Amino acid sequence: YRFFHLFSEMRKHASNFDETTYLAEFNEDYEHREKYSMGDGYYLGESKYHGWIIEKVPVYERNRTIEAFSYIAGREDNIHLSKSDNKPTPPPTENPEAGKNGCTMVEYSAKAVAVFGETKAIKDELKAMGGRFNSRLTINGEKIAGWIFPKSKEQRLAYYFGLN
């Protein structure tokens, strides 16, 4: 329960909606801790009475929660989903190696290699080889989803992708 009101977690989700992206940046004025009798609880935003706020909502009973949120978003113009039709392309690197399923293997750091591309079909194999999926790998200042592996797995990955 003590992790229920982590502002860092709320800020992380603020960037998922265009109108709340400004809340993703740390600003102590937007962090409201009104956890007292008649207070408004913990929320991230300028004011509880106007503008957008971000707060965590407990889910005690799944069906009731869905019913409550479907009432709020009952009109089509109340539903706000980001339209990310464009898939991020792997960043240009000095030695990109393309292999199976159009995946790209790059040297991520001195101790790690990363695999980018359409990996959904081979995720079990990547996990079995010791990979960890990370939706926010940073390459050339850009956040891209991919799999990260220890440098010791580089030869095995090259063999798997037919790059040796």
Q: What residue segments make up the domains of the chain, in order of their start?
A: 7-78, 97-160
pLDDT of 9 reads: 80
- CA distances for 162 relative to 1, 80, 120, 131, angstroms: 48, 42, 18, 18
How far is C-alpha 147 from the chain's CA centre? 14
Query: pTM for this one?
Result: 0.42
Give the tokens for residue 100. Answer: 């199976």
pLDDT of 99 reads: 54
* pLDDT tens by residue, 74-107: 554 554 444 444 455 444 444 455 555 678 888 8
How many CA atoms does the CB half-sphere of 68 hold within 13 Å? 9
Question: In the predicted model, is pLDDT for residue 120 greater than 50?
Answer: yes
CA distance 95 to 14: 35
* pLDDT tens by residue, 7-44: 778 888 788 777 788 888 888 888 877 777 777 777 77
pLDDT of 35 reads: 72
Q: Among 67, 148, 68, which residue's Cα sits nearest to residue 114?
A: 148
> 4-8, 101-105, 113-117, 156-160 — which is least confidently predicted?
4-8
Name the 3-class secondary structure at 105.
Answer: strand
Of all residues in the chain, the percent with pLDDT exceeding 90 is 4
